[in-house]
Structure 1
Amino acid sequence: MASVFGHGIAAFTIAKVASKKASIGLVVLAILSSILPDIDVLAFNFGVPYESPFGHRGFTHSILFAIIWALCICVLFGKQWKMRYFLVILFSTLSHGILDALTTSGKGVGFFIPFDNERYFFPYQVIKVSPIGVERFFSEWGLQVIFSELKYVFLPCALILIFKLLINRLLKED
Structure 2
Amino acid sequence: MASAFGHALLGATLGKLLLPARPNWPWWLLAAACAVVPDADVVGFKFGVAYASLWGHRGLTHSILAAVVLASSLVLLARVLRPKNQPPAGRLWLLLFLATVSHGVLDAMTTGGLGVAFLSPFEQGRYFFGFRPIQVSPIGVKRFAGAAALRVLRSEAIWVGIPCLLLYLGQRVFGPSPVNTRS
Band of TM-score, shorter chain: over 0.9
Quick one: distance in 2 between partners of 1:134 and 1:125?
A: 23
- Say if 2:153 is the partner of 1:146: yes
> Which residues of structure 2 form unaligned runs of 5+?
81-85
Which residues in structure 2 correspond to 1:96-115 (within 5 Å)? Answer: 96-115=103-122
Deviation at 1:168, TM superposition (A): 3.0
Deviation at 1:169, TM superposition (A): 6.6
List 4+ stretches of structure 1 deviating above 2 A: none
- Say if 2:72 is the partner of 1:71: yes
- Please state whether the residue corresponding to 2:13 is helix, strand or coil: helix
Which residues in structure 2 correspond to 1:16-165 (within 5 Å)? Answer: 16-21=16-21, 23-78=24-79, 80=86, 81-165=88-172
Taking structure 1 as the reference length, what is the TM-score of the superposition? 0.94
Please report the RMSD computed on the Cα atoms of aligned residues, expressed in angstroms: 1.5
The answer to which structure, 1 or 2, has the higher relative contact order (CA under 8 A, 6+ apart) is 2
Taking structure 2 as the reference length, what is the TM-score of the superposition? 0.89
> Which residues of structure 1 form unaligned runs of 5+?
none
Quick one: distance in 1 between partners of 2:113 and 2:127?
A: 10
Over the matched positions of the two proteins, sequence identity in percent amounts to 42
- Please state whether the residue corresponding to 1:136 is helix, strand or coil: coil
Quick one: distance in 1 between partners of 2:66 and 2:143?
A: 28
Q: Which has the higher helix share?
A: 1
Quick one: distance in 1 between partners of 2:174 and 2:156?
A: 26
| One-letter amino acid of the counterpart of residue 147, structure 1 | R
CA deviations 1:16-51 (Å, max 9, x no partner) are 111131612201110110000000001111111000
Question: Structure 1 stretch 106-115 or stretch 132-141: which is displaced more?
Answer: 132-141
Quick one: distance in 1 between partners of 2:93 and 2:28?
A: 12
Query: Partner of 2:83 in structure 1?
Result: none
